[in-house]
């Protein structure tokens, strides 16, 4: 099954998409990666969905990536007598550690770490920023505030603290348990929530021990400020615009999104644009025009993937949502302006032999009649470098290692195919030609570019490039030998 687009689609699974038939339909409609949201459901639910995905992978013969999204610490207020109270602009309100039920003047905030980080002038946001308070005075167990945006405050609403770095680890006890479960299950990617600093990512990598790639969710201002360092220690990035839009002025999110996408692309690391992409399709079979433009914008920016959350997990039209994303992607990528935008944003920072090889592969593909670039890889690095170039032709990612192929399902433009282990470059050429023809990327008169590394089966040795014609004689000679 060949995708006729480059950007990948991530679909979250949930109550609306838990059985084989629906998940298979999502895959056939265009989902390349399935997200297991560890904030909802238990381990048995996630294992059942994981097993279904692997069965679909077996039935279709196509690698499929699975991403487990860790919940992260949840900061919430306590409970109120009567359940809810109205806060007025300008009134005083206090947060403290007292477990007594709250009222219209105070409530428990059972997070001493927040009080330790607050300063006068800091802002506290409640219920996704619908209520805003400015800290006037604070100590180790309290914060006296003034309400700047009022509204109804009720039991256990979430709290955001946008302008300070909280002394909290990105991994809660639940996250550690979920991480170990997901790694043992065999997921391909771990999405790490509440990232504030590179040390948060390093801790997750230490616990994962290479069993899954680590993707950092950028959802806090501190992560935006530390992004270059976070990117360096991450395998991938998710631009989680929901929380970013709560903790930062909403008008700042689009330029941040563009900047992060470009930095990820320059680093040859996959980046997902996420949150509210087709939100109306939770209840409607068609999206709004603004949502379509939002998805299209991420595609024009060169993101590796766009993501559906509640649309595919709990919505009424999960398959239609994936189909819509696929349709938008095909339309955008067929626009001549798309290539102009993508190529204008290409960065030419190349410092290694592998950088030069993949750049040459892209140049050859653009200046001659090349049908595909076949990249043999042990670690996925070569394919990631090819994808960074955003070539005009498809990328065939060839590897004998299933985990490598699955992780590459998140990378722009890749069609991942399993091969046998190779020992000579001639075998790599034959394998590339056979696969290109078998999957319809080239016919017997067309040419492909093949990249590989010698010695074989060693990661990071990309050093050979060849142009090969996909004729029968080459294949027949190899079989005769």
pLDDT tens per residue, range 164-194: 899 988 999 999 999 999 999 999 999 999 9
d(CA 404, CA 151): 49
d(CA 333, CA 5): 7
Task: Show the DSSP H helices in 221-352 as ranges.
Answer: 221-225, 227-233, 241-247, 253-266, 289-301, 310-313, 318-333, 336-344
List the one residue out of 139, 39, 30 whose CA is nearest residue 95.
139
d(CA 433, CA 296): 34
Backbone angles phi, psi at 403, to 5 degrees: -65, -35
* Superfamily name and number for 8-72+170-334: Phosphoenolpyruvate-binding domains (3.20.20.60)
For 377-415, b where at least 16 C-beta lie within 10 A, e where not — what string? bbebbbbbbbbbbbbebbbbbbbbbebbbbbbbbbbbbb
* The pLDDT of residue 29: 98
* The pLDDT of residue 86: 96
**Token pair of 291, please?**
């949502």
Size of the chain in residues = 481
CATH number of 84-160: 2.40.33.10
d(CA 87, CA 85): 7
In the numeric block, the tokens 């692997």 are attached to 54
Is domain 353-480 annotated with CATH 3.40.50.740?
no
* The pLDDT of residue 480: 43
How distant is the alpha carbon of residue 386 from its chain centre? 19
**Residues forming the active site:** 35, 76, 217, 275
Domain residue spans of the chain? 8-72+170-334, 84-160, 353-480
Domains 8-72+170-334 and 84-160 share a fold: no
> For 273, how many CA atoms within 13 A lie in the half-sphere containing its CB?
31
**Token pair of 56, please?**
């679909």
In which order are the strands placed within the sheet that holds 395-399?
Answer: 414-418, 395-399, 370-376, 447-453, 462-469
In the numeric block, the tokens 């990948």 are attached to 8
141 and 111 Cβ atoms separated by less than 8 Å: no
**Token pair of 318, please?**
């999960």
* The pLDDT of residue 477: 59
Listed as ranges, residues in the chain with pLDDT below 70 are 348-349, 460, 472-481
């Amino acid at each position: 099954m060949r995708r006729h687009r480059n950007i990948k689609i991530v679909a979250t699974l949930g109550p609306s998409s838990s059985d084989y038939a629906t998940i298979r339909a999502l895959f056939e409609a265009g989902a390349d990666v399935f997200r297991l949201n560890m904030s909802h459901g238990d381990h048995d639910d996630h294992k059942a969905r994981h097993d279904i995905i692997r069965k679909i992978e077996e039935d279709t013969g196509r690698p499929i990536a699975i991403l487990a999204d860790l919940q992260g610490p949840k900061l919430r207020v306590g409970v109120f007598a009567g359940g809810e109270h109205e806060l007025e602009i300008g009134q005083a309100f206090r947060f403290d550690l007292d477990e007594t039920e709250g009222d219209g003047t105070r409530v428990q905030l059972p997070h001493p770490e927040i009080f330790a980080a607050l300063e006068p002038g800091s802002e506290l946001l409640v219920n996704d920023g619908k209520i805003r308070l400015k800290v006037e005075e604070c100590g180790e167990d309290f914060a006296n505030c003034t309400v700047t945006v009022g509204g109804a405050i009720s039991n256990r609403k979430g709290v955001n603290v946008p302008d300070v770095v909280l002394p909290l680890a990105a991994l809660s006890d639940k996250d550690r348990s979920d991480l170990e479960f997901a790694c043992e299950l065999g997921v391909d990617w771990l999405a790490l929530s509440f990232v504030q600093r590179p040390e948060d990512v390093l801790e997750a990598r230490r616990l994962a021990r290479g069993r899954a790639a680590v993707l950092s969710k950028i959802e806090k201002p501190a992560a935006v400020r530390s992004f270059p360092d976070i990117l360096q220690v991450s395998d991938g990035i998710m631009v989680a615009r929901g929380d970013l839009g709560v903790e930062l002025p909403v008008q700042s999110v689009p330029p941040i999104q563009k900047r992060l996408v470009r930095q990820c692309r320059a680093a040859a690391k996959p980046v997902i644009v996420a949150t509210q992409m087709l939100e109306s399709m939770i209840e409607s079979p068609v999206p709004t025009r603004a949502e379509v433009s939002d998805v299209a914008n991420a595609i024009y920016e060169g993101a590796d993937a766009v993501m559906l959350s509640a649309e595919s997990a709990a919505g009424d039209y999960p398959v239609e949502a994936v189909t819509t994303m696929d349709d938008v992607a095909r339309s955008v990528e067929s626009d001549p302006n798309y290539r102009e935008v993508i190529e204008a944003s290409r960065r030419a920072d190349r410092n290694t032999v592998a950088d030069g090889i993949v750049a040459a592969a892209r140049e050859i593909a653009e200046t001659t009649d090349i049908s595909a670039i076949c990249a043999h890889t042990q670690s996925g690095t070569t394919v990631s470098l090819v994808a960074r170039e955003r070539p005009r032709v498809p990328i065939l990612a060839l590897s004998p290692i299933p985990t490598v192929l699955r992780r590459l399902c998140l990378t722009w433009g890749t069609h991942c195919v399993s091969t046998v282990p190779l020992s000579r470059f001639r075998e790599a050429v034959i394998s590339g030609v056979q696969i290109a023809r078998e999957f319809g990327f080239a016919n017997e008169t067309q040419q492909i570019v093949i990249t590989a590394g010698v010695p074989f089966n060693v990661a990071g040795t990309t050093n050979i490039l060849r142009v090969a014609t996909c004729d029968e004689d080459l294949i027949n000679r190899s079989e005769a030998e």
